Amino acid sequence: MGDVFMNRREFLQSASATAVATGTGVAAPAVFSPARAQGRAETLLIVSESGPNNLDIQGVGTNVPGYEANWNCYDRLITHPMKEVNGTPYYDRDKFEGQLAEDMKVGDMSVTFKLKSKAVFQDGTPVTAKDVKWSLDRAVTVGGFPTFQMKAGSLEKPEQFVVVDDRTIRVDFIRKDRLTIPDLAVIVPCVYNSELVKKNATEKDPWGLEYTKQNTVGSGPYKVTKWTPGTEVIFERNDAWVGGPMPKMKRIVWRMVPSAGNRRALLERGDADISYDLPNKDFVELKESGKLTIISTPYSNGVQYMGMNVTKPPFDNIKVRQAMAYAMPYQKIMDAVLFGLSKPMFGAPAGHQTEVAWPQPTKYVTDLAKAKALLAEAGYPNGFETDISFDLGFAGVNEPICVLVQENLAQLGIKTTINKIPGANWRTELNKKVLPMYTNVFSGWLDYPEYFFFWCYHGNNSVFNTMSYKSQAMDTFIDGARLAAATGDKAAYDTDIRGMVDLAFADVPRIPLFQPYVNVAMQKNVTGYEYWFHRRLNYASLAKG
C-alpha cells in the first residue's frame, strides 16, 4: 500500500490539493480550501505508463506520447469535425474544417487557405502566411519521419508552398493524390512561431529542433509550462486560442506512473481523472464494477504484429517466416493478454475471399506441426537462436505477448532472448533495422489501405518498413492503388488492394496478430472524450462536471 499511497500524495500536491492521511497508509478524506477545490475542478489529472521524449512531432525519433504533447500545443491549417461511431465522437475521415484557416478553396492543381485574422502564437505574435510556409518547408526538408509523412500526401518540396499575402497561403499539387488534403490535417504539418524558432536555431541545427524539443511554440489550445521527462508534463490553457471552442480545462497535469497497479488505484480512489493504457484485464474488471466510464475503440487502420528482418538469416527465408506465422499463440494472446478487447487478425476461413479493406485477418492459425515441417524444409529442423524485442513504454501488452511467443517457439527448438528496449529509445533502435524479430503496433493516420502499405511495405520507405522488405511486385501494387485512387479507377484500385494484401500475407515479413483497441478509463464526471486517428487525448474537448 505504501507505494500507491506515496504516488497519491505526490499527485494531490501537484494538483494543489491537500490530503490528510492517517498513519496506516489508508487515505482519509481530502480536505480542500475553496480556492484549492476550484483549482482541482479546473485541472485534469492524466496518468499513463510512459510520457513524451520530445515535444516536437518534427523532431528526431519522437515517440507516440510525444504526438499528444504536439497535437495539443500546435494548430494545423485544417482539422476534422466529429461524427458518432458506436456512441463515441470519432473524427470524420472525409470531412475537413478550418483550424488556423477560416477558408479553404480547392482548385484543380492547388488549394488556397485564408488564415483567421485573430490567430496568435502563445507569445502573442500574430500567425502569418510566412510562418505557415516556413513550417511546411521545415516539414518537407528536415528528413526522417516528418518528411516521409509529408511525402505520403505528395507534399515534397518547398516550392509547393506559396505565400500569396500575409493571410493567404497556397499549396500547389505536384500530382493528383487523394491523400494530399487529408495529409494537411495530420500532426506533422503544424504551424510554428518561425521567428522565435529561428532566434533559437544554430548553424548545426538550422531548423531549431533542439529548442522545439523542449519548448512549445505553437498557437494551439495549450502550452507546456513545465516538462520533467519521465515524470510529468504540465499544460496551461492558451486563452487566446482561435482554432476551436475555448477548452473547459485550464490546466492538464499528465503524470507518468509506470506501475499499472498504481494507475488503477489512483483512478479507483478518484485521484486521477483519466488513464488510457491499463492492462486489458483491468479495463474488463473496471467496466464490470461500473464506477468509471470505460470506452474501447478499435485502432483505425491499426495492427499489432510480429516483424522479422528479412535481410538476415534465418528470416531471409520465406519458409521460416511462414513457419513463424503458424507458430504464433494467437488465441492465447487474445485470451491471456487482451481479455477479448481487440479484433483477431488470424484464422480467416480457408475459402475466404480477400477484401478491399484493411486491416483484415490472415488465414494463419496456430499449427506447430506445420511450423515444424516448414522449418525442416527451410533447413532448420532443430530450430535456431534469435532475439525478440519490444518497446518497454507499452510493456503491459508487449511483454506478455513476447513471453507467450517465446514458449511456443521453444517447442520448435527455437531459443529466444527477450530484449526490452526503453520507450525513449524504441524508435531509434527500430529504425536501425538490426532487430531480428520484434513486436510493435502500426496505425496509419490516414485510414486508407494504400496509405498503411505505403508506410509498412513499400521498398522505398525507410521509416516504418522496419523489416527491410523489398518487393517490386508490392511497390507496383501500392503505387498503382495510389494512382487509381487519384483518378477514380475503382476496378484497378480494388485489384491492386487485393494484390498487396495477398502478397503481404504470402511473404509475411510481418505477422498480423490483432487490431488493438484504444481503451480509456475516466471518472464519471469527465466528458468530451473523442477518438482521433493519432489515438491520443484531445484536451480541448475534455470537461469535468
Residue 35 has a pLDDT of 59
- How big, in percent rounded to 5, are the helix, strand and coil portions of the chain? 35, 25, 40
3-state secondary structure 188-246: CCCCCCHHHHHHCCCCCCCCCHHHHHHCCCCCCCEEEEEEECCCEEEEEECCCCCCCCC
Domain boundary among 264, 291, 318: 291
Q: For the segment 44-97, what is each residue's pLDDT rounded down to a tens digit?
A: 999 999 999 999 999 998 999 999 999 999 999 999 999 999 999 999 999 999
Q: What is the pLDDT of residue 73?
A: 98
Query: Bridge partners of 515?
Result: 343
How high is the pLDDT of residue 16? Answer: 36
Q: Please report the pLDDT score of residue 33 as a whole number.
A: 52
Q: How far is CA 257 from CA 39, 47, 57, in A?
A: 22, 6, 23
Residues 182/300, Cβ–Cβ less than 8 Å: no
Inter-CA distances, 423 with 17, 49, 307, 395, 466, Å: 31, 10, 18, 9, 17
In this prediction, residue 27 carries a pLDDT of: 37
Task: Check residue 126 and report its DSSP letter.
Answer: B
Residue 111, in any domain of the structure: yes
The confidence score (pLDDT) of residue 31 equals 40
* Residue 344 and residue 224 share a domain: no
One domain, residues 478 and 414: yes
Q: Are residues 201 and 226 in the same domain?
A: no
The answer to whether position 539 is within a domain reads no
- Residues 287 and 165 grouped into a single domain: no
Q: Provide the domain limits for residue 507.
A: 302-517
Q: Which CATH number characterizes residue 13's domain?
A: 3.40.190.10
Q: Does 180 share its domain with 248?
A: no
Q: Is residue 524 part of a domain?
A: no
256 shares its domain with 164: no
Report yes or no on 509 lying in a domain.
yes
Ranges in the chain, pLDDT < 50? 1-32
The predicted structure's pLDDT at residue 40: 82
CA distance 431 to 418: 19
How many CB atoms sit inside 10 A of residue 112's CB? 17
Question: Count of residues for the chain?
Answer: 545
From residue 419, alpha-carbon distances to 305, 442, 510, 511, 514 in Å are: 16, 19, 18, 19, 21
Are 376 and 232 found together in one domain?
A: no
Closest by CA position to 448, among listed 188, 186, 155:
186
Is 337 within a domain? yes
In a domain, 529, yes or no: no
d(CA 17, CA 9): 9
Q: How many domains does the chain have?
A: 3
Q: Answer yes or no: do 161 and 229 share one domain.
A: no
Q: Of the candidates 219, 247, 282, which is a domain's last residue?
A: 219
**What backbone phi and psi angles, to 5 degrees, belong to 13?**
-65, -45
Q: Are residues 452 and 423 in the same domain?
A: yes
Average pLDDT, the chain: 92
Task: Judge whether 374 and 380 are in contact, CB under 8 Å.
Answer: no
pLDDT given at position 32:
41
Is 321 found in the same domain as 336?
yes
Residue 442 belongs to domain with CATH number: 3.10.105.10
Task: Judge if 430 and 372 occupy the same domain.
Answer: yes
Q: What is the pLDDT of residue 327?
A: 98
On whether both 346 and 201 belong to a single domain, the answer is no
- Whether residue 536 is contained in a domain is answered as no
Vertex 60, ends 55 and 66: CA angle to 5°? 30
Pair 185, 101: CB distance under 8 Å: no
One DSSP character per residue, 425-491 reads HHHHHHHTT--SEEEEEEE-SS--HHHHHHHHT-TT--SS-TT----HHHHHHHHHHHHHHHHT-HH
In single-letter form, the type of residue at position 61 comes to: G
> Would residue 67 count as lying in a domain?
no
DSSP-assigned letters across all residues of 394-422: GHHHHHHHHHHHHHHHHTTT-EEEEEEE-
Q: Taking Cα atoms as reference points, which of 471, 470, 481 lies closest to residue 433?
A: 470
Q: What is the pLDDT of residue 461?
A: 76
Which three-class secondary structure state does DSSP give residue 530? coil
CATH code for the domain in which residue 200 is found? 3.90.76.10
